[in-house]
Amino acid sequence: MSAQELLFAGFGVVAIAGALYSVVTRSLLRAIIGLGAFLTAVAGEFYLLAADLLAVVQVFVYVGGVVVLMLFALMLTASGARHPLAAIDRPRSGAVLACVIGGGLVWASWTVDFAEAPPAPDDAVGALGRALLGAQLGPFEVMGVILLASVVTALSIVRRERP
Amino acid sequence: MSLSGTFAAGLLLGVVSFTLVGVLTAVLVLAERKVGARMQARVGPMHTGPHGSLQTIADMVKLVMKEDVRPARADAVAFGLGPLLVAVPAILSLAVIPFGAPLVMRDLNVGVLYFLAVPGVTVVGLLLAGWASYDNYSFLGGLRSSAQFISYEIPRGLAVVTVVMLAGSLSTVDLLEAQSRVPYIVLLPVSFVIYAVTSLAEVNRVPFDIPEAESELVAGYHTEYSGFRWALFFLAEYAGLFAASAFGALLFLGGGNGPVLPPVVWLLIKTGGLVFVGIWIRFTLPRFRADQLMRLAWKFFLPLSLANLVLAAAVMRAIA
């Protein structure tokens, strides 16, 4: 086993542990911490798979963006973060659903034949950039408009409560 | 290399980087106290070592030996994680700075993006630290600093984009080559000004130190911290200042390019110059108010950086 494989396995363990912790813990804040650990470990996996850009974007958008946003939202609630969450209503159906989805994913990754990955192109980042600002410009811009619309909607909902 | 060899090398690299950052912090703190003292017609620390040069070393030893106090109602996990998540990204952001041919730790082909992304994790640490302390001052400090960081990150990123457009690469090593004749401060002066001002805000320094404004928030997010954990915040601030200055030197001043002297020396000279300006500003300008700070980011720097980006792109298009 090479150092790289060992690191890959290590990141995998951290990712799974973080994901489990974030659903098992009763504290909303710790759930977000677990999610952050999971996302960071996945960024590490991307890096080991020679997807540098994806790894950095993962940290940029998810850890530095989404996790911060969640923490911010949690802390702006009066005392949501200090009280443990109540037990969920239907633990049995939830567990069954989770097992079905998880089992399906394990089965899929077991049966699919992962051929030797093709070597990454030299200018992968450039190619991605050209694609986003060339052929895929339309969908790319639509994404931006959707995000803007969601921000405006959120603001208008918040404002309505306090005229 | 064998497995154990790889891990030994990795461990050694970690210890060496942490030690270097510690030494760096000691030097920068001393420089800040000495320069600040001169600007206020004082002499600064004089008693420990010749001209007080060992004062910060003594301070560090004292800090490490101090008791680690945790408020009784603090959240243990978040309280411990906070300073770590502030210090580690600050140290990691140094990894992509090309100090010269043999001293590039990592030439990522997305080095510039890495430098913008990794310090962003600091915000998580600041929020956690502020919240976990169970103290209103800390809490407000944490919220303020993250709001400030997020606001100033946007114009800063847009200023860096103009540099990337001109160089045509996200790799820090390519940036150096692109500037071998003309440093980008000549071609992109507005971007440099935006980068310099927003960087001061990103590392929470005067006049943008609202999060730890002692006149209103005691010490902001690190009010309740002491000993080594507090030292980590301190370390992060100075590592952040150094990294932002080194990156400014790299993006706009041509990094290690220069005649006669080796690249490392040139980069350190340019970085030192920017750090000096940072210290100079600290002892010259008063602090902003929180609302002024937000207005400056969203109503001045954001439009300015967008206009700068469009103008730079148009000029590049016209010339090419």
Amino acid, res. A142: V
Cβ-contact B139, B224 below 8 angstroms: no
Asked whether the beta carbons of residue A64 and residue B123 sit closer than 8 angstroms, the reply is yes
For the stretch B34-64, pLDDT in tens is 888 888 888 878 787 788 788 888 888 888 8
Asked if B56 and B134 sit in the same domain, the reply is no
Q: Which residue has the higher pLDDT, B12 or B306?
A: B306
d(CA B118, CA B92): 7
Asked if the peptide bond before residue A91 counts as cis, ω within 30 degrees of 0, the response is no
Coil, strand or helix: which one is B49? Answer: coil
Q: What is chain B's mean pLDDT, rounded? A: 81
Q: Residue B97 pLDDT > 70, yes or no?
A: yes
Q: Which of B65, B97, B113 is the last residue of a domain?
A: B65
B179 with B41, same domain: the answer is: no
Position with higher pLDDT, B256 vs A102: A102
* Residues in contact with A121: Cβ distance below 8 Å, sequence separation at least 6, in sequence order: A127
Q: Using alpha carbons, select from A117, A10, A47 the residue that is nearest to residue B108.
A: A47
pLDDT > 60? residue A78: no
Of B65, B90, B121, which marks where a domain is finished? B65
Q: Which domain holds residue B245?
A: 70-319
Q: Do A2 and A82 lie in a common domain?
A: yes
What's the CA gap between A124 and A133, in Å, rounded?
14
Residues of B with CB below 8 A from A64's CB?
A: 117, 120-121, 123-124
Q: Which of these ranges, A41-50, A129-138, B67-76, has the smallest mean pLDDT? A: B67-76
Residue A15 — very low, low, confident or very high, per pLDDT cuts 50/70/90? very high
Choose the final residue of a domain: B38, B65, B92: B65
Would you state the pLDDT for residue A13?
94
Residue A65 belongs to a domain: yes
Same domain, B169 and B268: yes
Residues B35 and B165 in one domain: no
Angle at alpha carbon of residue B82, lines to B77 and B195, rounded to 5°: 160
Residue B225: pLDDT band with limits 50, 70, 90: confident
For residues B73 and B125, the model is more confident at B125
Residue B70 has pLDDT above 80, yes or no: no
Q: Say if residue B8 is in the same domain as residue B115.
A: no
Q: Is residue A103 part of a domain?
A: no
Which residues in A104-129 are b (16+ Cβ under 10 Å) and which e? eeeeeeeeeeeeeeeeeeeebbeeee
* B32-71 as b/e: b if 16+ CB within 10 A: bbbbebeeeeeebbeeeeeebebbbbebbeebeeeeeebe
Q: Is the pLDDT score of B76 beyond 80?
A: no
ipTM: 0.79
Its domain, for residue A148, covers 122-163
Would residue A112 count as lying in a domain?
A: no
Cβ count within 10 A of residue B119: 25
**In angstroms, what separates the C-alpha of B212 from chain A's closest C-alpha?**
18
CA distance B153 to chain A (A): 11
| Pair B221, B86: CB distance under 8 Å | no
Query: Dihedral angle at the C-alpha atoms of B59, B60, B61, B65, nearest 10 degrees?
Result: 100
Distance (Å, whole) CA B18 – CA B64: 15
CATH number of the domain that residue A43 is part of: 1.20.120.1200
Q: Which residues contact B315 (CB under 8 A, 6 or more apart)?
A: none
Q: Are residues A41 and A8 in contact, defined by beta-carbon separation less than 8 angstroms?
A: no
Question: What is the total count of domains within chain B?
Answer: 2
A56 closest CB neighbour out of B1, B110, B142: B110
pLDDT > 90 fraction of chain B, expressed in percent and rounded: 3
Q: Which helix (H) or strand (E) holds A24?
A: helix A3-24
Q: Do A3 and B77 touch (CB under 8 A)?
A: no
Is the pLDDT at B101 greater than 60? The verdict is no
Contacts of B121 in chain A (CB under 8 A): 40, 59, 63-64
The answer on B35 and B160 residing in a single domain is no
Q: Residue A83: what are its φ and ψ, rounded to 5°?
A: -105, 135
Assess whether A65 and A130 both reside in one domain: no
Q: Do residue B189 and residue B247 come from a single domain?
A: yes
- Evaluate if residue A86 carries a pLDDT over 70: no
Tokens, residue B310: 């469009």
Asked if A76 and A18 sit in the same domain, the reply is: yes
- Buried-exposed string B232-244: b where 16+ CB fall within 10 A, e elsewhere: bbbbbbbbbbbbb
Query: In chain B, which residues touch A (CB < 8 A)?
Result: 1, 3, 6-7, 75, 77-78, 81, 108-110, 113-114, 116-118, 120-121, 123-124, 127-128, 131, 139, 142-143, 146, 150, 170
Using a CB-CB cut-off of 8 Å, the residues of chain A touching B128 are 29, 33, 71
How many folded domains does chain A comprise?
2
The beta-carbon neighbor of B121 closest among A64, A72, A81 is A64
Token pair of B42 as six digits = 């004082």
